[in-house]
């Protein structure tokens, strides 16, 4: 599906979807337990993949749209061997979290995904599962899916790099809680995306599972049980970032865009509020009410380290194309290993729209003074975050912008284009007409 965006002004109130990161962890935590109602989950493609994995392991996930909940019957600590291959589709979080869970199975589990997911590195996690007493290997012997995992991981101590994916740490902590000996994860390199591990620890604490920081990394005692009657998922700051960016670059006159559901949590992507403030945006966060208001402002380029916030790179790059001066996004090499290489992808797609961009191995610099955004046909490359960031750029580009692959917003922000339309954007994302508010 293509989305066509024309220059627009936006204003009004919008609510971001629930957090995808929290939903994944809550569904699997509930799976490790014996029964939990997950309130306000993100019902989209990636969490659905995690829910199917819980079911494959002997649990059950019932999505209750009327109650805005997912009712999870867990597999009570030890996953059974699935009857079939576990297909994680395009969800890297599902693949990594489920790989460690599969390591607990008595027999063997086969994990796979789509073309993009089968290109993403899993090697350090496979090595860790084997070091902890399980079996874990790549069928192509290249550290990438399809994977074969199982043989009853027992626990122990393991060293892994911290600069590939924080999801490796999350997966091992979640599985380690139900092993006999627990798991200690020592980091051989500095941890990237560290706030995501804090999200994990926050969710585990809500399920009664203890974890701890150590001098070298993290640890989780064994022999624990996951228990929670209910768990409520907070709003998603990765998704909030696109709405805030839309307000900062395209709000109508002095009218704000107000984003609801922005309550404080461990999410690192709440840093987008600070980034906007540093760039000169008129932004105000009422933490008690969970609302952020932003008005269109003259923006100036800044330097942003995305070591802990890789999902913000597409949003910040778009803001940089509108700002005065240079916006330099650094510590970004790990952002190349997402649904696509987001560093190169944003450089190339913004370049098609007239942005001046310099790409280096671990950084992206957008030269706002040399950028003059104009409508073009750009490719979302199967990446929901690229699609949404490029759509925001289309609000202020001269002429119509067409974003290919717009359906991929369903991964994390179902109804994204309807939300933009409700704020006043001229968006056509349907074969026959303009996007409807949802």
Please indicate if the annotation marks 224 as binding a ligand: no
CB 212 within 8 A of CB 386: no
Please indicate if the annotation marks 122 as binding a ligand: no
> 60 in helix, strand or coil?
strand
Q: Is the pLDDT of residue 432 over 50?
A: no
Confidence of residue 52 (pLDDT cuts 50, 70, 90): very high
**Cα(394)–Cα(400) distance, rounded to whole angstroms?**
7
Q: Per the structure block, which two tokens stand in for 417?
A: 């284009």
Which tens digit of pLDDT belongs to each residue from 176-212?
A: 999 999 999 999 999 988 999 999 999 999 999 999 9
Partners of 231 in beta bridges: 38
Task: Name the architecture of domain 20-232.
Answer: Alpha-beta prism (3.65)
Please indicate if the annotation marks 429 as binding a ligand: no
Run of H or E residues at 283? strand 282-286
Q: What average pLDDT does this structure show over 25-45?
A: 96
The single residue listed with the structure tokens 């979290």 is 97
Q: What is the pLDDT of residue 232?
A: 92
Q: Is the pLDDT of residue 437 over 60?
A: no
Q: Where in the chain is the domain with CATH 3.65.10.10?
A: 2-17+235-428, 20-232
Which tens digit of pLDDT belongs to each residue from 95-150?
A: 999 999 999 999 999 999 999 999 999 999 999 999 999 999 999 999 999 999 99
CATH class of 2-17+235-428: alpha beta
- Predicted structure pTM score: 0.80
**Cα(436)–Cα(421) distance, rounded to whole angstroms?**
6
Q: What is the pLDDT of residue 435?
A: 41
Catalytic one among 43, 73, 311, 383?
311
- Would you call 311 a catalytic residue per the annotation? yes
Which tens digit of pLDDT belongs to each residue from 387-427?
A: 999 999 999 999 999 999 999 999 889 899 999 999 999 99
CB 343 within 8 A of CB 332: yes
What are the angstrom distances between the C-alpha of 154 and each of 58, 104, 253? 20, 8, 61
Please indicate if the annotation marks 166 as binding a ligand: yes
């Amino acid at each position: 599906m293509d989305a066509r965006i024309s220059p627009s002004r936006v204003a009004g109130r919008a609510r971001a979807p629930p957090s995808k990161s929290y939903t994944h962890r809550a569904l699997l935590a509930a799976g490790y337990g014996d029964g939990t109602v997950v309130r306000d989950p993100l019902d989209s493609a990636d969490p659905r993949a995690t829910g199917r994995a819980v079911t494959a392991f002997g649990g059950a996930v019932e999505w209750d749209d009327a109650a805005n909940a997912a009712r999870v019957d867990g597999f009570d600590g030890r996953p059974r061997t699935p009857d079939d291959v576990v297909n994680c589709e395009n969800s890297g979080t599902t693949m990594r979290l489920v790989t460690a869970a599969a390591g607990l199975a008595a027999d063997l589990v086969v994990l796979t995904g789509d073309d993009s997911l089968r290109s993403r590195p899993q090697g350090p996690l496979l090595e860790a599962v084997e070091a902890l007493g399980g079996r874990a290997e790549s069928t192509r012997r290249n550290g990438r899916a399809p994977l074969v995992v199982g043989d009853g991981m027992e626990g122990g101590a393991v060293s892994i790099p911290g600069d590939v994916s924080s999801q490796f740490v999350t997966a091992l902590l979640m599985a380690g809680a139900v092993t006999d000996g627990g798991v200690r994860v020592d980091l051989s390199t500095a941890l990237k995306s560290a706030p995501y591990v804090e999200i994990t620890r926050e969710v585990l604490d809500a399920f009664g599972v203890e974890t701890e920081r150590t001098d070298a990394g993290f640890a989780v005692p064994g022999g624990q049980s996951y228990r929670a009657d209910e768990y409520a998922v907070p709003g998603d700051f990765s998704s909030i970032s696109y709405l805030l960016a839309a307000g900062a670059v395209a709000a109508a006159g002095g009218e704000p865009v107000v984003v609801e559901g922005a309550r404080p949590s461990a999410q690192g992507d709440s840093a987008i509020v600070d980034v906007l403030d540093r760039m000169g945006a008129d932004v105000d966060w009422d933490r008690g009410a969970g609302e952020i208001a932003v008005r269109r402002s003259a923006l100036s380029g800044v330097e942003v380290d995305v070591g802990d916030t890789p999902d913000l790179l597409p949003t910040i790059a778009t803001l940089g194309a509108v700002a005065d001066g240079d916006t330099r996004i650094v510590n970004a090499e790990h952002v190349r290993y997402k649904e696509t290489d987001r560093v190169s992808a944003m450089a190339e797609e913004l370049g098609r729209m007239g942005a001046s961009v310099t790409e280096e191995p671990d950084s992206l610099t957008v030269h706002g003074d040399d950028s003059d955004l104009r409508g073009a046909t750009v490719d979302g490359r199967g990446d929901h975050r690229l699609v949404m960031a490029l759509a925001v750029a289309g609000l202020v580009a001269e002429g119509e912008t067409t974003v290919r692959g717009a359906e991929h917003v369903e991964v994390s922000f179902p109804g994204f284009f309807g939300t933009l339309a409700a704020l006043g954007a001229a968006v056509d994302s349907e074969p026959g007409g303009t996007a409807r508010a949802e």
